[in-house]
């Protein structure tokens, strides 16, 4: 029983990480049709900026509130990076999806390499705040606190995103843009502002995931983003781009499948099981994502 | 494969311009070969040199290169036939062939596959495993590995190609990721995990072992590159290749004309996968082993970069892009290790020590300023010169 609870908690924690990455990806992909390979780079930026702040900045040092400062700094850095990427790299290629993908591919190779050039390829230990240290007893299982922290943060982000999308004017534009971008433009609304906004939001969520991923894994490495990104892609495909709740459910499902299969069968089989689920979803559910995007890119 | 031959006879005649649109309507040379140069005056001027002349000259040059002792200061460390230079050139050529096989999907059919590394890696790993576990000699392991990689491409292609666009990119990426995880997890201690596998020297013909025989490795790599490029170019000129180009231009229209695109796409996927697994075997022999690096998604992304850098869908683009990329990737590391580099300020040194950073930024700049890649440069320069001439006073 306690094993199952522990696996559930760990799966939820991993699902929270996936959700933080995939929610931005899915918004960006849904609205702009950009398969953003640079999203992993934002994650790397967030993780390293949080680590750098905790070492070099006085307000971000220490175990208690300092950690909050470090995470805030990391998120701000990632948001700024995403904003700049959209403004300088994506916008000039507006309407040329293939070139946009190529640019994000180039950035996804260059940014981790740059980080590696500056701070080296070795994993850097991430400072662990008091709040995320130790375990909590849940139903007889000793659940690490950082998992619970991750879940709480992801739930807050989910709530915030839902509020943004459902209750604000920009959220309305984003929702309408995902549905039919041409129509929104025809109505005289500048969708490009929404593009930048969505990119910044996605970058913020991804860099938050990068900073908190440092907690989950205990270390930050330059290539952490890339491996998480692939699973986030899978989440986006399974969850679809229509709703944020769908994305959250898919994140948890993918993480649970991975955790349970990895524990109860051979390690590594869980990752492969996720791929099998993806293939099954893609091949059986012909609607939604697959048919809609088939003609736009390619 | 006789259905494509018979059904594609119609597009070869009158329907091809309709399928391919304006791009296909370019005048053809009398021999029936597709004209990829610009139509008009330049086309007639170019006809004096036979189309096979440039590739033939390139092949002869490639074959004779190890006999040259010409030093190329700054470009290579030693003379052309020194083992280090030949080794670097052999790696470049393997990637040239591999990039050409990727371009068959990306450039010629417009299929965005993010799983090409899987077939390359299967060729290399199948061959290494057959040699390690069954003690098969290389001559027996290589065809089996290529057959295995091709079969894998056929099977996974049959599944993946049921979707297209981004979904295809995702599903191919996911399959490749599964392969990558499998290799790294090292089931039964067979694949060597992160360490990879090394080539069993006693199962390889003596002519391919040792520093003295680097020239033979070079010729092997050159043969692979010529074979891959030749196969892709030849296929492109067949009726099937014309349907491929039609699919890239407008897949729905091909379907409306009565051709089912699926078998054509699957054929291309299988051929590309087969060529990639052959490249994997060549890579295994040339580099003396294989590591999980070649299974990763980043490896496929670098292939994409090579192809786009050189020019997707062109004859020479993927070859040029791959050679340039691989060369820079190796040489920039040497530059970063040189003495003069140490004296640079740290802020400059850190980014420049990472070839991938330089190549990534170069690639991003390329997408903006030179769309079409290296292969499109001569035409762009020519157009710019012509424009300037028209604007300025007449030359006489």
User: What ranges do the domains of chain B cover?
Assistant: 74-391
Instruction: Kindly state the tokens that stand for B53.
Output: 């002349």
Nearest CB to B165; choose among A105, A279, A298: A298
Cα atoms in the 13 Å half-sphere on the side-chain side of A67: 16
Q: Taking residues B16-37, what's their average pLDDT?
A: 41
Burial of B343 (0-12, 13-18, 19+ CB in 10 A): exposed
Chain A interface test: which of B246, B360, B365, B369 (most A C-beta within 10 Å): B360
Domain residues for the domain of A47 are 2-294
With beta carbons less than 8 A apart as the criterion, state whether A104 and A35 touch.
yes
pLDDT at B263 over 70: yes
Residues B92-115 pLDDT 10s: 999 999 999 999 999 899 888 988
With beta carbons less than 8 A apart as the criterion, state whether A123 and A221 touch.
yes
The mean predicted confidence, pLDDT, of chain A is 82
How many H-runs (helices) and E-runs (strands) does chain A carry? 12, 4
Instruction: Kindly state the tokens that stand for A215.
Output: 């907690």
**C-alpha distance across the termini of chain A, in Å:** 49
Instruction: Name the B residues in 153-172 with CB < 8 Å from any A CB.
Output: 159, 162-171
Report the chain B residue with the minimal C-alpha distance to residue A36. B166
Contact A107 B301 (CB under 8 A): no
| Fold held by B74-391 | ABC transporter involved in vitamin B12 uptake, BtuC (1.10.3470)
Q: What's the CA gap between A28 and A195, in Å, rounded?
A: 8
Please report the beta strands in chain A, taking only residues with DSSP state E, as ranges in sequence order.
124-125, 135-138, 141-144, 219-220
Least confident residue range of A86-90, B45-49, B238-242:
B45-49
Least confident residue range of A138-142, A284-288, B39-43, B154-158:
B39-43
Which residues have a Cβ under 8 Å from the Cβ of B40 and sit 6 or more positions away? none
Q: What's the CA gap between A64 and A46, in Å, rounded?
A: 19
Chain B interface test: which of A222, A230, A232, A267 (most B C-beta within 10 Å): A230
Q: Dihedrals φ, ψ of A8, to 5°? A: -60, -45
Q: Tell me, yes or no, if A294 comes closer than 8 A to chain B by beta carbon.
A: yes
pLDDT at A270 over 50: yes
Q: What's the CA gap between A281 and B303, in Å, rounded?
A: 28
Number of separate domains in chain A: 1
- Cα angle at B313 between A111 and B163, to 5 degrees? 75
pLDDT at B40 over 70: no
β-pair type (A141-144, A135-138): antiparallel
pLDDT at B264 over 90: yes
Q: Taking residues A90-118, what's their average pLDDT?
A: 85
Nearest CB to B357; choose among A29, A98, A117: A117
From chain A, pick out residues whose CB is under 8 angstroms from the CB of B297: 226, 230
How many CB atoms sit inside 10 A of residue B13's CB? 9
Chain B interface test: which of A104, A227, A282 (most B C-beta within 10 Å): A282
pLDDT band at B46 (very low <50, low <70, confident <90, very high): low
We report the CATH number of the domain holding residue A174 as 1.10.3470
Residues A236-251 pLDDT 10s: 888 877 678 888 888 9
Among candidates A224, A229, A252, which has minimal Cα distance to A116?
A224
Q: What's the CA gap between B332 and B326, in Å, rounded?
A: 10
β-pair type (A135-138, B197-198): unpaired
With beta carbons less than 8 A apart as the criterion, state whether B182 and A268 touch.
yes
Three-state secondary structure call for residue A268:
coil
How many CB atoms sit inside 10 A of residue A138's CB? 15
């Amino acid at each position: 029983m306690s094993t199952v609870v522990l696996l559930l908690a760990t799966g939820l924690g991993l699902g929270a990480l996936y959700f933080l990455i995939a929610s931005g990806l899915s918004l960006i992909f849904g609205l702009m049709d950009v398969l953003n390979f640079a999203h992993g780079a934002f994650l790397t930026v967030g993780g390293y900026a949080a680590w750098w702040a905790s070492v070099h900045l006085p307000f971000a040092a220490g175990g208690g509130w300092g950690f909050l400062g470090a995470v805030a700094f990391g998120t701000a850095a990632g948001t700024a990076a995403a904003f700049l990427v959209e403004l300088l790299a994506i916008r000039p290629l507006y309407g040329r999806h293939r070139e946009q993908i190529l640019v994000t591919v180039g950035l996804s190779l260059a940014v981790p390499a740059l980080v590696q050039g500056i701070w080296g390829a070795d994993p850097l230990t991430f400072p662990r705040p008091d709040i995320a240290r130790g375990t909590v007893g849940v139903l007889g299982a000793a659940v690490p606190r950082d998992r619970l922290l991750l879940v709480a943060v992801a739930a807050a982000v989910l709530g915030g995103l839902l509020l943004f999308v459902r209750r604000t004017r920009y959220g309305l534009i984003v929702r309408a843009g995902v549905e039919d971008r041409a129509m929104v433009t025809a109505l005289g609304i500048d969708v490009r502002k929404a593009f930048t906004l969505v990119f910044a939001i996605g970058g913020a969520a991804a860099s938050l995931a990068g900073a908190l991923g440092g907690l989950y894994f205990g270390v930050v490495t330059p290539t952490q983003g890339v491996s998480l990104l692939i699973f986030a892609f899978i989440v986006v495909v399974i969850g679809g781009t229509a709703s944020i709740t769908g994305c959250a459910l898919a994140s948890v499902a993918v993480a649970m499948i991975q955790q349970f299969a990895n524990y109860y069968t051979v390690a590594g089989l869980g990752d492969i099981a996720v791929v099998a689920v993806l293939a099954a979803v893609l091949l059986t559910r012909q609607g939604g994502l697959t048919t809609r995007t088939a003609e736009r890119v390619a | 494969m006789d259905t494509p031959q018979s059904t594609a006879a119609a597009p070869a005649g009158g329907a091809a311009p309709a399928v391919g649109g304006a791009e296909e309507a370019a005048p053809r040379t009398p021999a029936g070969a597709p004209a990829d140069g610009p139509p008009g005056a330049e086309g007639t001027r170019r006809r004096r040199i036979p189309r096979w002349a440039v590739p033939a000259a390139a092949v002869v040059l490639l074959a004779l290169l190890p006999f040259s002792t010409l030093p190329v200061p700054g470009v290579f460390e030693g003379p052309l036939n020194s083992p280090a230079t030949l080794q670097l050139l052999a790696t470049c050529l393997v990637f040239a062939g591999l990039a050409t096989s990727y371009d068959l999907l990306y450039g010629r059919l417009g299929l965005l596959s993010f799983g090409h590394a899987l077939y390359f890696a299967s060729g290399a790993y199948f061959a290494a495993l057959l040699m390690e576990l069954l003690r098969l000699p290389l001559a027996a392991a290589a065809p089996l590995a290529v057959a295995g990689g091709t079969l894998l491409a056929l099977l996974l292609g049959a599944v993946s190609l049921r979707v297209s666009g981004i979904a295809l990119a995702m599903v191919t990426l996911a399959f490749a990721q599964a392969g990558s995880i499998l290799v790294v997890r090292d089931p039964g201690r067979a694949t060597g995990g992160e360490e990879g596998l090394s080539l069993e020297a006693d199962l390889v013909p003596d002519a391919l072992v040792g520093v003295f025989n680097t020239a033979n490795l070079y010729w092997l790599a050159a043969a692979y590159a010529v074979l891959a490029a030749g196969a892709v170019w030849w296929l492109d000129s067949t009726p099937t290749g014309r349907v491929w180009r039609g699919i890239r231009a407008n897949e729905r229209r091909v379907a409306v004309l009565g051709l089912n695109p699926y078998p054509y796409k699957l054929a291309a996927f299988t051929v590309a996968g087969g060529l990639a697994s052959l490249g994997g075997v060549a890579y295994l022999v040339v580099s003396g082993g294989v590591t999980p690096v070649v299974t990763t998604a980043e490896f496929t992304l670098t292939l994409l970069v090579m192809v786009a850098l050189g020019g997707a869908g062109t004859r020479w683009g993927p070859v040029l892009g791959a050679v340039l990329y691989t060369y820079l990737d190796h040489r920039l590391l040497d530059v970063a290790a040189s003495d003069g580099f140490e004296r640079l300020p740290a802020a400059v040194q850190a980014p420049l020590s990472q070839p991938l950073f330089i190549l990534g930024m170069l690639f991003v700049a390329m997408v903006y300023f030179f769309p079409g890649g290296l292969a499109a440069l001569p035409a762009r320069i020519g157009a710019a010169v012509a424009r300037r001439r028209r604007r300025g006073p007449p030359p006489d």
